[in-house]
Amino acid sequence: MTRSFLLLGACAVAAFAAYNLLRSGPSEEGAQTMPRQSNAIVALQMPPLAGNAAIGQRVFETACSACHGSNAAGNEDAGPPLIHIIYEPAHHADEAFQRAVAMGVKSHHWRFGDMPPVAGLTRGDVAMVIAYIREIQRANGID
């Protein structure tokens, strides 16, 4: 009788320890999912990225994410999400992205002001960014 109580107690302690480990252990820091930026405008499903889309992600994070947010989810303080029905291919074809980067954008959809041209990117770089954006759009039902 006493033995089974002890066993039960040991199990409870082990379960509690495991629970705490799972809650606050190192698993959270090594998580694969991107943390959602606190100032993001939309919540996203991120698809696995490879090839051109993965290259485009690096270009985007360097040249665009300061305004459009990480993964183009928008930034409440700086710029709109590009993962948005407004930017579906039928409304903003790939050429609209090339034009936006080369010549900038006069504010017309949002309240963030104009987008200045972005220097230092080739059309090829922008094509990678477009592949990246389209991939995330598709994963979020925007196509």
Residues forming contacts to ligand HEC in the complex (CB under 6 A) are 63-64, 66-68, 78-80, 92, 96-97, 100-101, 105, 107-110, 112-113, 115-116, 118, 121, 129
Instruction: Count the neighbouring beta carbons within 10 Å of the beta carbon of residue 55.
Output: 18
Decide whether 49 or 100 has the Cβ nearer to ligand HEC: 100
Residue 63 CB, shortest distance to ligand HEC, in Å, is 4
Residue 80 CB, shortest distance to ligand HEC, in Å, is 5
Decide whether 112 or 139 has the Cβ nearer to ligand HEC: 112
Instruction: Count the neighbouring beta carbons within 10 Å of the beta carbon of residue 44.
Output: 20
Contact 75, 69 (CB under 8 A): yes
- CA 92 → CA 20, 38, 97, 102, 142, distances in Å? 48, 27, 7, 15, 12
Distance CA 128, CA 59 (A): 8
Residue 91 CB, shortest distance to ligand HEC, in Å, is 9
Residue among 53, 48, 36 nearest 134 (CA)? 53
Decide whether 118 or 139 has the Cβ nearer to ligand HEC: 118
Decide whether 29 or 136 has the Cβ nearer to ligand HEC: 136
